Structure 1
Amino acid sequence: MITHPRDPALRLLETTDVHVPEAAKVVAWARDYLVNAHPDLGRKGPVCPYAQGSLSRRAFYLHVVPEPVTRLDEITGVAEKYRDWFLELAPRAEPDALFTTILLLFPEVRDLALIDRAQAALRPSFVSRGLMVGEFHDGPPPKGGLWNPEWRPLRSPVPLLGLRHMVPSDRPFLAHDPALLEVHEALFGGARC
């Protein structure tokens, strides 16, 4: 476990902290699902191209919110704190920063639409900082896959938000919003892959 240097209330579990059942479940999901190919994905390679690098570099972190969550601001408040720590923990200029991942687990969320709404509300503030935030749960999330819109790749065993650095291949995820696309183009010069 690592603790924020200035705020001891902010803590991140590492993949070796499997004593927390929800974290253990998500680490197993990452190792069994994210790092492997899937026949419905619509492209070659693993479901998440960066998950194995994150796991191998011990840069795959989790935070579990054990309390019941019923309001949007409860989720966004947690995500904003960990977004800011993420930027300190993995500055983009660091060699392996692109492999850093923080997963915020909300096992006591009953209204899964809150996870989807939180992701939509948080997205502009994350993208403006060069980060992506993704929503995952067993709903399944309403979004189809980029290469196969009929498939729902964002299914996970615990409701969660995933935080990571934006990469050039994220362009299609931002193309619907000119302001978000502008941030991508400023970072990557219009790179599309």
Structure 2
Amino acid sequence: MLIHGGKSRLLLIELDDMGRAGLPASLVAYEKPIRDIVEWASGYLTQPHPEIGRRGHVCPFVKSSMNKGLFYLAVQPGVPGDLLEVAESLRAYRDWFIELAAANGPAAHYTTILVLFPELPPDQVSGVIDGAQDLLKADYVSHGLMIGEFHDGPPAKPGLWNPDFRPLRSPVPLLAMRHMVPTDFPFLKDDPEYLAQYLERYGRELPPQAAKDAVEAAREFGLEALLERSPE
């Protein structure tokens, strides 16, 4: 269990905590959704899927994140009043994420935080989770991060290799944060601000499968100069 030094109200659950005597009193009521997400991560995200349309795990990064002890969970209790309340709650975890990643050295890119919203009524799940992701994406991308929405709707976004597959289904509503990586190009290519942030970081280390499309997108948005910059 990690407790933020300056904000004791913030807790991050580590995978090892699930095998210990018990969760702190403030989280006991949420043990089932926490365990459901740990099982979902290990049984779905880290496994191949017949509908995904490519080889490999559903999420290529989660298994390494879990194995390296950099996979954390948090619980946001109750029902937020609006999306701004969600954004404010997530801001503290985003800042903590940046601190944790900075301390992880070469393994920083495997840092992952999932923030669970186990008490959202079913009729509010999509509005809160999808809406918050849409609201927060620009801010996260500007910090070199990605934020993803997961729930049992599921979110409408299709898989990259199979448009009929809905990869973002999860048993508990949550928002997930991780570092941007070179293979995130497809998620950022259609917006000039997102693409600029991506090219600032990876303009000279584009993954082979994205290089041609990235050059074309850079030309379309007048961002060719970013292809010549050194990565951060």
TM-score (norm 2): 0.80
- AA aligned opposite 2:172: V
Contact (CA 8 Å) 1:68, 1:109: kept in 2 or not?
A: yes
Shift of the 93–60 alpha-carbon distance from structure 1 to 2, 3 Å rule, reads closer
- AA aligned opposite 1:24: R
The alignment of Structure 1 onto Structure 2 pairs a total of residues equal to 193
Quote how far apart the aligned CAs of 1:23 are. 1.2
Report SS of the residue matched to 1:12.
strand
Report SS of the residue matched to 2:139.
helix
For 1:41, the equivalent position in structure 2 comes to 52
Tell me the C-alpha RMSD between the 2 structures. Answer: 1.4
Quote how far apart the aligned CAs of 1:82 are. 0.5
Contact (CA 8 Å) 1:22, 1:64: kept in 2 or not?
A: no
Q: Which residue of 79, 82, 86 maps to 1:71?
A: 82
Equivalent residue runs for 1:162-177 within 5 Å: 162-177=176-191
Q: Which residue of 140, 144, 156 maps to 1:126?
A: 140
List runs of 5+ in structure 1 lacking aligned partners.
Answer: none
Greater fraction helix: 2
For 2:223, the equivalent position in structure 1 comes to none
Quote how far apart the aligned CAs of 1:157 are. 0.6
| Consecutive aligned runs of 4 or more in structure 1 exceeding 6 Å deviation | none
Report SS of the residue matched to 1:90.
helix
Report SS of the residue matched to 2:105.
coil
Q: Which residue of 52, 69, 72 maps to 2:63?
A: 52
User: Is 1:189 matched up with 2:203?
Assistant: yes
Quote how far apart the aligned CAs of 1:74 are. 2.4
Q: What is the identity percentage for the equivalent residue pairs of Structure 1 and Structure 2? A: 48
Quote how far apart the aligned CAs of 1:121 are. 0.5
Contact (CA 8 Å) 1:70, 1:109: kept in 2 or not?
A: no
List runs of 5+ in structure 2 lacking aligned partners.
Answer: 24-30, 210-232
Q: 1:125-154 CA deviation, whole Å, 9 max, x = no partner?
A: 000000000000001101111111111000
Distance 2:104 2:129 in 1: 30
Distance 2:152 2:178 in 1: 21
For 1:5, the equivalent position in structure 2 comes to 5
User: Is 1:179 matched up with 2:193?
Assistant: yes
Quote how far apart the aligned CAs of 1:69 are. 2.9
Quote how far apart the aligned CAs of 1:92 are. 8.6
User: Is 1:144 matched up with 2:158?
Assistant: yes
Report SS of the residue matched to 1:13.
strand
Distance 1:94 1:32 in 2: 28
Q: Which 10-residue stretch deviates more, 174-183 or 60-69?
A: 60-69
Contact (CA 8 Å) 1:40, 1:148: kept in 2 or not?
A: yes
Larger radius of gyration: 2
Report SS of the residue matched to 1:139.
coil
Distance 2:103 2:164 in 1: 34
Contact (CA 8 Å) 1:26, 1:156: kept in 2 or not?
A: yes
